[in-house]
């Protein structure tokens, strides 16, 4: 089969012919129908510092966001059948550690597997994965839309952890997950939604998806605008997706006392909080992070939301390209509002 393989440390990857994987009793073999290019995949391709620090085992097939059709199941697999459409839960928990046994398998701390990093991923014609991590998706959902279920579930996890119903929300960063968070915040019953980005194009899309106020952080004063619009109180919830130290230091200034900040964006250098005592301690802010999706709470909630057919998933598709055109996809990913979809 054809696959995009990270073969050695350093920038780049190779489009190669490799063997179709053989499955174990607890695994499924999936024919990939469509995959999506995530910023973290671009980081692997470009070999950024955050990836270098992970010391990934190479070679590995890249990619982790996908939808596929099950073509083979292991002897011990139950509840998943040949012909089912599935998305992949990227995190592969051990099932034995304290995290796994106390309701947090998505942050398993016992050598958790990660698709496309510690195990072979989805930028290929076929992928194998534990049946535990195969999430059934209704076969009526277009395959390109199914390929973006994983980031959509990440946005949902962030908002669910914050509890946004009846609350004002600031979404900081309008990449694909940020835009998804805007629409989901509206669906979940947020009051005022502030979208913040340095891209006017992405802000225009955020407005279309349900944001009440769009702030260009390159030309406008985010803190001033949000504090004015909230009558000096600040927002109840902020979801930080930029991983930018300047934005992180400003977000504490826009928070209502006892508000909650959910950190999603990755950062690859030591972070300095300039206003920690006054901005965080004295305001009793709740700071939390998320890593992926809750297994399986988030997925169950997402499937219920999808049944309503109220989300316009086409808004999150930037481009469609054959997998062999991965170099073009990498370039487009830096400017496209939405995922680049790769077809094997």
The structural domains of the chain, with segments of one domain joined by +, span 2-147+312-343, 152-289
- The pLDDT assigned to 267 comes to 86
- The pLDDT assigned to 95 comes to 94
In CATH, what number does 2-147+312-343 get?
3.90.180.10
Secondary structure (3-state) at 201:
helix
Taking each helix axis from N to C terminus, what angle separates 297-308 and 149-162, rounded to the nearest 10 degrees? 110
Low-confidence ranges of the chain (pLDDT < 50): none
CATH topology of domain 152-289: Rossmann fold (3.40.50)
| 22-27 LR contacts (CB < 8 Å, sep 24+) | 22/128, 23/72, 23/73, 23/74, 23/128, 24/74, 25/74, 25/75, 25/76, 25/77, 26/74, 26/76, 26/77, 26/130, 26/131, 26/132, 27/74, 27/77, 27/128, 27/129, 27/130, 27/131
Total residues found in the chain within this entry? 344
Q: If we measure between CA atoms, which residue out of 182, 150, 144, 199 comes closest to residue 335?
A: 199
- The pLDDT assigned to 99 comes to 97
- The pLDDT assigned to 54 comes to 87
What string of DSSP letters covers 233-250? S-EEEEEE-S--HHHHHH
- The pLDDT assigned to 18 comes to 98
- Give CA–CA dist 109/89, Å, rounded: 16
Residues facing 61 on adjacent strands: 5
């Amino acid at each position: 089969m054809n696959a995009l393989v990270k073969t050695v440390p350093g920038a780049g990857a190779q489009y190669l012919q490799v063997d179709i994987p053989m499955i174990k009793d607890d695994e499924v073999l999936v024919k990939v129908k469509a995959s999506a290019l995530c910023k973290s995949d671009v980081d692997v391709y470009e070999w950024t510092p955050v990836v270098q620090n992970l010391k990934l085992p190479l070679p590995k097939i890249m990619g982790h966001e996908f939808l596929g059709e099950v073509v083979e199941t292991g002897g011990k697999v139950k509840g998943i059948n040949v012909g089912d459409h599935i998305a992949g839960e990227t995190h592969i928990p051990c099932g034995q550690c304290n995290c796994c046994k106390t309701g947090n398998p998505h942050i398993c701390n016992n050598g958790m597997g990660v698709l496309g990093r510690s195990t072979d991923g989805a930028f290929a014609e076929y992928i194998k994965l534990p049946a535990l991590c195969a999430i059934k998706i209704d076969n009526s959902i277009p395959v390109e839309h199914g390929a973006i279920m994983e980031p959509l579930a990440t946005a949902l996890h962030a908002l669910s952890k914050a509890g946004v119903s009846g609350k004002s929300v600031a979404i900081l960063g309008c990449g694909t997950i940020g835009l998804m968070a805007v629409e989901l915040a509206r669906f979940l019953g947020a009051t005022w939604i502030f979208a913040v980005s340095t891209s006017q194009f992405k802000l225009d899309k955020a407005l279309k998806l349900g944001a009440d106020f769009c702030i260009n952080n390159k030309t406008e004063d985010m803190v001033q605008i949000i504090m004015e619009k909230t009558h000096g109180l600040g927002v109840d919830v902020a979801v930080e997706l930029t991983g930018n130290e300047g934005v992180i230091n400003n977000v504490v200034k826009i928070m209502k006392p006892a508000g909650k900040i959910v950190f999603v964006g990755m950062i690859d250098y030591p972070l300095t909080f300039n206003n920690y005592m006054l901005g965080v301690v004295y305001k009793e802010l709740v700071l939390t992070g998320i890593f992926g999706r809750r297994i399986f709470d988030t997925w169950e909630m997402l499937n219920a939301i999808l049944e309503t057919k109220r989300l316009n998933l086409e808004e999150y598709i930037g481009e469609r390209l054959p997998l062999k055109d991965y170099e073009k996809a990498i370039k487009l990913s830096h400017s496209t509002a939405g995922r680049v979809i790769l077809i094997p």
